[in-house]
Structure 1
Amino acid sequence: MKLILYLALCILLFNCTNKYDKYKATPKYITNAVASNKAYFEAYNESLKLWDVNFEELYIPTTYGVAHVIVSGKSNKESIVLLHGMNASSTMWYPNIKSLSDNYRVFAIDFILEPGKSCIQKDIDDIETVIDWYNEIFYALDLNNFNLIGASRGGWLATNLTLNNPEKIKKLVLLSPAQTFTWIKPSSDLLKNIIYVFSSKEKRVNQTLEAMSNNPNNISDTYIKQYKIGTGKDTLNKLMLKMKPFSRNELKNLKLPTLVLIGDNDAINNEKTIELAKTLQKGQGEIITNAGHFLSIDQADAINTKILEFLNN
């Protein structure tokens, strides 16, 4: 009888063990951060306080460095992977995370070549290596069949991942994807950003926010502080120059349900993006009113509703 009770207790303890526990230890590059990184990590943690859900932070070792992943939502729910925009880090999802986590298990990944809590330890020179890096993360997290959401450059990366892993992705959501369907065309907003390259860092960041958001005053000051520090740390990586729109033949291989959303005041995309999205085998697209490139913040409620309707359908 005692043996049976002992075995039952062992099984119970085993089942209660979180399979991600081995990734929870905070690495030394964060706990003992150098001064130039410490301020950023502190600002990042303050931004995480904007997440009105329970979450856990994971640090996954990979061939190319440590991948930082924020996990939220119940473990028995269908999975979503989030890929943030350039310099934004996973904290950019603060207006969307509760809505998504209430319905799904959500994994937000910090891109290893940009500001965030991921840490690069080996050179990454091409998109194929980036795909390998993400696949290592998916393997570690045991993600085999999930929904993928990417914003801006994260949308371009999400499209690449889907084309390379069609068997893994259930549905694809692209929020104002950069250089994905069309080239970024010159505009007055982009011209202003070029002019402000020669201005102070403060002016450059403020101009970017004004150019990319319809409602920059609605963006949390806490998040803006982190964004400014991160932008100051960032340098143009080699992959930026390799981003180009996908060909018609490549887009034909996107055979899964795909939703594309852009803002009506989007500095990166226009109606052509939506037209091309609707030519996909299972593609649909929509322009969101009173939204810029940062539409997931500008019109968070509308975006959350559109995403959930699409995923739940």
Structure 2
Amino acid sequence: MINLVLNPTKVVTKQHEGTKILTLSNGFHLFSRTVGQGPINLLCLHGGPGSNHVEFENFAEELSNYGVRVSMYDQLGSFFSDQPDFSLPENQKYLDLEYYLSELEEVRQQLGLENFYLLGHSWGGLLAQEYALRHPEHLKGLVVMSMIDSITEYTPYINHLRETTLTDDQVTYMKQVEADERFDDPYYQTLVDELNRNFVMRHPENGPHHLVNTTATAVYNTFQGNNEFVMVGKLNGWDRRGDLKNVKTPTLLTFGDHDTMPLDTAMRMNRELPNSRLVLTPDGGHCHSVDNPKAFFHNLGTFLTDVETGNF
């Protein structure tokens, strides 16, 4: 990190470019990366929980015409950051929403971000909403990507999706496997894959590929469950309905038109947020920046430009 002294009383910090390992106050290390050039700072929060920054690797290139510097990081437990043994009692405290919010604020401070845009995808969108409610003084704009404000409205919707996509026998089979906790059942996984192709990532050929599974399973299972269509983890019951009216930050709500998130809820959020815009990505699922990047980045770039020019 380079300090540029402009006068004896004011120090301006230049944001680190490229990959940087952040050392947290708790002693753990997080992978971070900042790329791109321009006056707009965008910090991206990955989904999961337990996914990683890879979904944002192309953001700087796709937003290069808009003058955006993109920062991203892997949360604790995720693939490129420290992965503590969460089975140990002393590490259980980190599997908590409050921890990941405090981690986000510490990352912001270490990256020197002020008056910045915060983008959160899925679980990251949940964190982004919570952060906007607690620390609006740091934000210039908020992007909530494929995340609603209440798990209470998510659970019945994903049940509806599988009931209208699969046969009655297939749904019954899935429910029995879930009751027995036999999640490694091959046929069950085949049905999950079919649902994922319809509603999570419709065009996986556009997405990143690894030779191994990079999901932080312990984190994901703790907060979510076994898959996107089973909500039995710590996030079950999370609800910010009625609170978002307090978010005055310019906000983009972006969803895929085939999202796992209920679009009726997205429209309600748009009505309740006093300074928001709702956009849908055609032929997009929950990972709509991958499914249809052209439409997604056009919408995101337009939002950033409109806020910057006072036309939002």
> What SS does structure 1 have at the residue aligned with 2:272?
coil
Q: Closer, same or farther in 2 for the Cα pair 1:199/1:259, shift >3 Å?
A: same
**Residue identity in the other structure for 1:199:** D
2:267 counterpart of 1:274:
yes
CA gap of 1:88–1:235, structure 2 versus 1, over 3 A, is closer
For residues 234 and 178 of structure 1, the distance between their equivalents in structure 2, rounded to whole angstroms, comes to 23
SS in 1 for 2:259: coil
TM-score by length of 1: 0.72
CA distance in 2, matches of 1:211, 1:289: 13
Structure 2 residue 188 is matched with structure 1 residue 224: no
Moved more, 122-131 or 292-301: 122-131
Q: CA–CA distance in 2 between the matches of 1:146 and 1:20?
A: 12
1:8 corresponds in structure 2 to none
Alignment partner, residue 83 of structure 1: 45
Query: Does structure 1 retain, via aligned residues, the 8 Å contact 2:206–2:290?
Result: yes
- Residue 258 of structure 1 contacts residue 282 of structure 1 at CA under 8 Å; is this kept in 2? yes
Alpha-carbon distance in 2 for matches of 1:193, 1:168: 44
Distance in 1 (alpha carbons) for counterparts of 2:111 and 2:219: 29
Tell me by how many angstroms 1:167 deviates. 0.2
Matched, 1:188 2:161: yes
What is the aligned length?
259
Q: Deviations over 1:94-147 (max 9, x none)?
A: 45331234521110121224x321215554143222222111111111112100
Runs of 5+ in structure 1 lacking a partner?
Answer: 1-10, 12-17, 22-54
- Give the match for residue 112 of structure 1: 76
Instruction: Note the residue ranges of structure 2 that are not aligned, 5 or more in a row.
Output: 6-12, 85-90, 164-170, 225-232, 307-312
Structure 1 residue 275, shift from structure 2 partner:
2.6
Q: Which amino acid aligns with 1:247?
A: R
* Larger mean Cα displacement after TM superposition, 152-161 or 262-271: 262-271
CA-to-aligned-CA distance 1:207-238 (integer Å, 9 cap, x gap) = 46414346334334xx2335x61237545454
Determine if the alignment matches structure 1 residue 97 to structure 2 residue 60.
yes
**Aligned twin of 1:68:** 31
Q: Distance in 2 between matches of 1:235 and 1:255?
A: 31
Corresponding residue for residue 146 of structure 2: 176
In the alignment, the residues of structure 2 paired with residue 232 and residue 61 of structure 1 have an alpha-carbon distance, to the nearest angstrom, of 20
Which residue of structure 1 aligns with residue 185 of structure 2?
199
- Alignment correspondent of 1:5: none
CA distance in 1, matches of 2:95, 2:132: 20
Q: Following TM superposition, by how much is the alpha carbon of 1:199 offset from its aligned partner in structure 2, in angstroms?
A: 2.7
User: CA 1:208–1:234 in 2, change beyond 3 Å: closer, same or farther?
Assistant: farther
